Structure formats: structure tokens, C-alpha cells
């Protein structure tokens, strides 16, 4: 008897790809044309003058960001990676300092510490939020710890109040990487505004974007000033500015262009209207997936509003006797673009396994004055490894471009595969 599963010769649930995500429209076109008409694509100068802070569009974006997220200072960047690097520099991290960070994130979250000679120390994630927590951070704190980088992964804000209290007790700077969670909230407050510094992404596949870009925010004027200096060739202006605190004041070019700022300004206006459909689509899909054995849809842990950059599902292979790879292959055959895991735990990547840093001697991992113990062994973060290698099914198809029928098709595909999963066992 012919199977209904597409992987085994049946008809797929979907034969057309899911709609692409596009947030750009006439507003962005007009904004870009306005910049081109003015013929000023960037106004940054690496000298101490009014133009040190960038052009009109850059400053308009920063003021709009401050107003929207209710923060004192917004500092635009040419990427969120640049924002993280500037944030770590502003925090005063130096050679031999330790920075506690999630292992389940984009590489820049940890590499930001390495850029300043710091040592990434990886704390395990919570199995429900996928974020690091006060409970996993606390055992990692040593006298060498200088900062904590918390990642609001997949759109779920970390449980920040206990983390901030822990940081206060140990006099640590908390940097919130909210690249994937713009528009998410924690206890009524915006994700990205909960630490000492928050970093947003405007990369092309984020909820809102300008191609490439980022914004760092803080309520601390000193941290804001330091990030502005690092963004724009700090070493050239500290003398004329009269800056006396020049630790880490070797600057870079992290400057945003006027075109990027003009697009981002229009995108920010759309943020709430782009997050709400993600939340609505996720709720519709979760309602149906909760009925299926062996699947755990995303959870909203505590008083949070999830941003749903990614819809991450836990799959129980042991319950069904079918490997995750086989399960994912069956979903793909039904027309769903899904993946296994997310990114390999960072400490298992060559940079850490082989102690590859700067220069042939592998600085900072070989820094002679570092008195700590480098621990990047497999098994270091068991929850992270279980999620990545065994349980997590990764999908980014929850965005505003999908309608109810699209979501229903996704749910139907999951129901179909789970309903016939015994056939996958028999055919294995």
C-alpha cells in the first residue's frame, strides 16, 4: 500500500514555496531617493567636529530609536557585530578578562570578547528559553570576569532581572545581544534595553533591516560616548576632545551610511506591525502542534512577549523511534523548509578547539598573564549540545508574509508526518 508521506511517494502538503519575507516598500524607495537627490551618502568625519557624529539621516535614526525604545542614547553602527565589538570595548574588557556568553548564538557574540583580548567563558542555556540564565552564569563568575553577553535568541528575551542582580553583586557590565528580538518585551520593557548596553541588528534577514546595520543603546552617557568614539577612529580625536579615559580608545570605522540610516528610519516605523503577525502566526501554529506527541513548540517563559524571529521546536526522537534527520527529511518532502539544530555550539568550532586567535601564537588564548583555565571541551554545555545535536528543529517561516492558509499548511504537514511516523520507522 502506497504511503501518504511525500518522502515515501505520497503527495506533498505544499507544492509551492512559502512566501518570501519582504519589508521594503515605497517608503524606503522615497527615502533612498531623497538621500541620492541630496548627494551626501555619508557625513562622518574622523575629526572632532559636529560631523564626528554623522549626517542628518544617521542622527534622525538615532533620535527615533531612542524615542521608540525609551532609552537615553542610541548609537548607530554598520552592523550588529560592530555594535557588539564597540559595546565590549566600552565595557573596558582587556587582555585576560573573562566575558561570559551563550554558546548557542552567532559567532560574533563571543568573538567580540576575543577582539579585545578577552576570554569567552560559555554558560549553558535554559532548555525552554534557549537563553543563558542567572543559574548558569553564576558558577562561571571568577575574579577575572568583566562582562556578561546575554543573547535573546530566536526572539525570546532572557530572564534579565536575576541576571542584572547578579551583575550588580559582582560589578559586571551586561551587554544584551537582541539582534533576533527587536519588538520583544520582558515584563513590559523592550528587549535590548534591559542590560547596561543593548545591541540591535538591521541585517537583511532580521525582522527589520537596511541591508546591513545595527544600533547599540544604553542609558549610561559614559558608555554611549565610548561607543561613539570606538565607532569613529577614537584615537584621532581623544586629544582634541579632551578625553582622559582612553582605555580601548583605538577606534574603528563602524559608521552607518545615510542610505542605510534612511531605510532603517522607515523600517523602524513598521516594527510593531511586523512583529504582531509573527506572534499571531506562532500562536496559530502552536495551538495545533501542542496536540502532537513528541513535539514541544516554542514557549514564552515568564512575563515576556516573544518576537519569534525563529520558530524552534523540540523533537523527541526516542519517543517515536525515528531519528531527527529522518523526521526533518519527511517535513522537507512535504514542502516545509526546516533544518536540524541551529549553529554548532561555539566552543566546538575551530577557533576555540585549536585556540586560534591573533598572530601565530593564538592570542588571547595563549596570553601568559591569563590565570584561568580554558574549557572548551565537548560536554561543557550539555543542554546546548542536546538541543543542537538531538532535539531542535529550526524553522524561520513564521514571518508577516504568511497568511492563515500558509500556517495551516505548515501545521498539516507536521500532523501528517507525526500521524504516519511509524511508516518512517518501518522504512528506515
The residues annotated with a catalytic role in the active site are: 206
- For residue 382, count other CB atoms closer than 10 A to its CB: 11
Residue 174 phi, psi dihedral angles, 5° rounding:
-110, 125
Place of cell 549540545: 385
Q: Cell digits for 382?
A: 550539555
User: What is the DSSP code string of 59-87?
Assistant: HHHHHHHHHHHT-SEEEEES-HHHHHHHH
Euclidean distance between CA atoms 415 and 409, whole angstroms: 10
Q: How far apart are CA 151 and CA 99, in angstroms?
A: 13
Burial class (CB in 10 A: 0-12, 13-18, 19+), 205: exposed
CA distance linking residue 412 with residue 414, whole number of Å: 5
Residues 6+ apart with CB under 8 A from 157: 131, 178, 181, 184, 185, 186, 191, 194, 304
DSSP structure class, residue 358: B
Give the span between the Cα atoms of 101 and 92, in whole angstroms: 16
Edge-to-edge strands, sheet with 145-151: 73-77, 214-218, 197-201, 173-177, 145-151, 98-101, 119-122
Measured distance CA(152)–CA(159) in Å, rounded: 9
Are the beta carbons of 211 and 217 closer than 8 angstroms? no
Question: Rounded to an integer, what distance in angstroms lies between the CA atom of residue 225 and that of residue 246?
Answer: 11
Amino acid at each position: 500500500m502506497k504511503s501518504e508521506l511525500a518522502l515515501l511517494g505520497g503527495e506533498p502538503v505544499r507544492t509551492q514555496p512559502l512566501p518570501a519575507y519582504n519589508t521594503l516598500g515605497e517608503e524606503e524607495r522615497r527615502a533612498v531617493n531623497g538621500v541620492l537627490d541630496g548627494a551626501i551618502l555619508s557625513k562622518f568625519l574622523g575629526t572632532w567636529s559636529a560631523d564626528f557624529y554623522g549626517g542628518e539621516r544617521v542622527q534622525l535614526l538615532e533620535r527615533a530609536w531612542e524615542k521608540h525604545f525609551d532609552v537615553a542614547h542610541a548609537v548607530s553602527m554598520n552592523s550588529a557585530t560592530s555594535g557588539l565589538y564597540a559595546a565590549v570595548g566600552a565595557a573596558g574588557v582587556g587582555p585576560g578578562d573573562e566575558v561570559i556568553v551563550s554558546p548557542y548564538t552567532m559567532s560574533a557574540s563571543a568573538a567580540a570578547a576575543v577582539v579585545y583580548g578577552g576570554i569567552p567563558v560559555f554558560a549553558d542555556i535554559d532548555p525552554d528559553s534557549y537563553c543563558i540564565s542567572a543559574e548558569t552564569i553564576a558558577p562561571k563568575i571568577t575574579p577575572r570576569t568583566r562582562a556578561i553577553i546575554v543573547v535573546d535568541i530566536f526572539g525570546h528575551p532572557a530572564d534579565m532581572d536575576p541576571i542584572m542582580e547578579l551583575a550588580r553583586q559582582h560589578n559586571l557590565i551586561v551587554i544584551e545581544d537582541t539582534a533576533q528580538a527587536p519588538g520583544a518585551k520582558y515584563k513590559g520593557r523592550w528587549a535590548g534595553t534591559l542590560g547596561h548596553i543593548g545591541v540591535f541588528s538591521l541585517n537583511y534577514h532580521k525582522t527589520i533591516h537596511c541591508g546591513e546595520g545595527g544600533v547599540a543603546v544604553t542609558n549610561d552617557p559614559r558608555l554611549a560616548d565610548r561607543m561613539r568614539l570606538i565607532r569613529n577612529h577614537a584615537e584621532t580625536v581623544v586629544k582634541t576632545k579632551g578625553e582622559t579615559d582612553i582605555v580601548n580608545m583605538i577606534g574603528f570605522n563602524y559608521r552607518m551610511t545615510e542610505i542605510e540610516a534612511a531605510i532603517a528610519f522607515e523600517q523602524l516605523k513598521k516594527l510593531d506591525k511586523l512583529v504582531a503577525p509573527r506572534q499571531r502566526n506562532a500562536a496559530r501554529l502552536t495551538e495545533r502542534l501542542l496536540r502532537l506527541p513528541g513535539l514541544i513548540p516554542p514557549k514564552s517563559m515568564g512575563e515576556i512577549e516573544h518576537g519569534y524571529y525563529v520558530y524552534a521546536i523540540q523533537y523527541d526522537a526516542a519517543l517515536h523511534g525515528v531519528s531527527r534527520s529522518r523526521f526533518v527529511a519527511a517535513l522537507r518532502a512535504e514542502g516545509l523548509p526546516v533544518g536540524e539544530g541551529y549553529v554548532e555550539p561555539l566552543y566546538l568550532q575551530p577557533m576555540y578547539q585549536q585556540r586560534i586567535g591573533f598572530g601565530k601564537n593564538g592570542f588571547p588564548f595563549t596570553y601568559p598573564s591569563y590565570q584561568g583555565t580554558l574549557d572548551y571541551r565537548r560536554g561543557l554545555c550539555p543542554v546546548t549540545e542536546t538541543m543542537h545535536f538531538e532535539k531542535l528543529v529550526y524553522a524561520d517561516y513564521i514571518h508577516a508574509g504568511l497568511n492563515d492558509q500558509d500556517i495551516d499548511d505548515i501545521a498539516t504537514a507536521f500532523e501528517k508526518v507525526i500521524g504516519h511516523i511509524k511508516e518512517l520507522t518501518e522504512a528506515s
